[in-house]
Amino acid sequence: NLLRGWAVRGGSPTEVHGVAMKCGCTWARVVIAIGVFLILVGGIVGGIAGQELLRLQHVVQAKCSIAGFQADMEREVVIAGRTCERSCGFYVSVVAEGQPPFYVLNWMPEYQESYHSSTGFIATHEHFACCPTSAEDCCGFESESTGLFCDNFGVTQAECPAGPWPCYFEPLGDDQLALGLPASALFVGDSTEKLTQAYIGFIIICVGFLECLCVRPSIFVYPCFCIWQAFFGSGLYLRLAKKMPRAVRTTGMQLAVETDAAIRIQRIMRRLKLQARFRAVILDCGQTLEKERRFRANVLPMSHEQLYGPKPKRVPAQNLLYDTGDAATFRRVVHARVVDSPDPALQRIEVSLTKQATWLSQILRVGRDKLGRELAPEVVGQPPRAFAEVYGIRAGHRLIGVGSLEWPQAS
């Protein structure tokens, strides 16, 4: 009507078309914004509900009701008056499917702040709407005339809830249930309520998508086209085509079946060709080895020196000692070296004899100490001067080892 009025008042067709495009773009933006907002809201609602469902997936749903005052259960002697006047607290009867009934001890309903109550608090859950709003009136939780507790006043009062009320708890062993469940382990409410919230979030997301789809359906055409194309090339489509009779197959189904059969035949032929080629290679290798064996049999045997030349002459070993370093990182070799000794007052010399020293046995004497124990052989004579200068052996030295023999294990 706005555009018709514009045209009647003398607006040109171009101006009218421009106004229509402007109004259409504005409307599309608003609808898309609403759709995106609904998708975000649905995602948040569904995500929160899904997280709660994951947390509550192992809980046990049950029916609960207030069974009595905690003080009555703990009372051991008969006292005058009601126990609710001295302490406030209840034990709750819990009945779960597949488990024996048990009690929750020292339980109290939950309260929250409210300006609509004279005490400033009201019950958090609607199942205790008729209960007192203060623990000071603990006896008010039970009706003296009927003996019912406030969670079940609906039996006599229409405006109050009637029990039992839904509750849930974490799964426990039979021994723990027999001793009684602590109050902190019992939760009021239905654990499946979050499932409805998850459904609501999913519905809101779908509405948001429909909002965007109504404005511009082409947004979803390409993804749907890609999914449709992927379905035609998938194994599901091929299995479906094979199960259908040939008379009712479409052209695409028949082509998919024939293509799969051709691929299978090609794989079999390639396998057979590879086997034949491998067999030919093995036969060729066998013939080559046979020719080489015959050639070696006809060749005259050659000695090691003819093949590799004369063996190099070995250099006689020097039998010297490494004064610094080792065989890999040596710097100096000597005939004699000073080695560590357990007793710092004694000097231990290690000698490598490279020449015959028969005279050494003539200047060695074996003695005994005051207790008659045998001592290590002692050099009592003077060695040859050249020997003493090279090896450093002097009179007074004792022989404590030769090769792997050590004194006093070897006498």
Cis-peptide into 164, omega within 30 deg: yes
The full DSSP string for 282-309 is HHHHHHHHHHHHHHHHHSPP--HHHHH-
d(CA 379, CA 102): 99
In this structure, are strands 60-69 and 165-169 parallel, antiparallel, or unpaired? antiparallel
d(CA 40, CA 42): 5
Overall residue count recorded for the chain in this entry: 411
d(CA 37, CA 32): 8
d(CA 273, CA 255): 27
> Among 5-14, 242-251, 328-337, which is the least confidently predicted range?
5-14
In this prediction, residue 7 carries a pLDDT of 43
φ and ψ at 173, to 5 degrees? -75, 165
Query: Over the stretch 39-60, which tens digit does the pLDDT of each residue have?
Result: 888 888 888 888 887 877 778 8
Q: Which residue has the tokens 């029916």?
A: 63
The full DSSP string for 306-343 is HHH-PPPPPPPP---EEEES-SSS--EEESEEEE--SS
Query: Over the stretch 18-44, which tens digit does the pLDDT of each residue have?
Result: 444 444 457 777 777 888 888 888 888
Beta bridge partners of 334: 321
Checking if the pLDDT of 259 tops 50, the result is yes
Checking if the pLDDT of 246 tops 80, the result is yes
The most confident of the ranges 230-234, 264-268, 333-337 is 264-268
d(CA 81, CA 96): 34
In this prediction, residue 171 carries a pLDDT of 78
Query: Over the stretch 174-186, which tens digit does the pLDDT of each residue have?
Result: 666 666 677 888 8
The most confident of the ranges 5-14, 292-301, 376-385 is 376-385
Confidence band (pLDDT; 50, 70, 90) for 331?
low
Q: Which residue has the tokens 């200047």?
A: 363
d(CA 411, CA 409): 6
Average pLDDT over residues 71-94: 74
In this prediction, residue 272 carries a pLDDT of 94
Query: Over the stretch 84-133, which tens digit does the pLDDT of each residue have?
Result: 777 788 889 988 888 888 888 888 888 888 887 777 888 888 888 888 88
Q: What contacts 37, CB < 8 A, 6 or more positions away?
A: 208
| Residue 103: closest CA among 189, 188, 186 | 186
Q: Is the pTM of this model over 0.75?
A: no
Q: Buried b vs exposed e over 32-43: b needs ≥16 C-beta within 10 Å?
A: beebeebbeebe
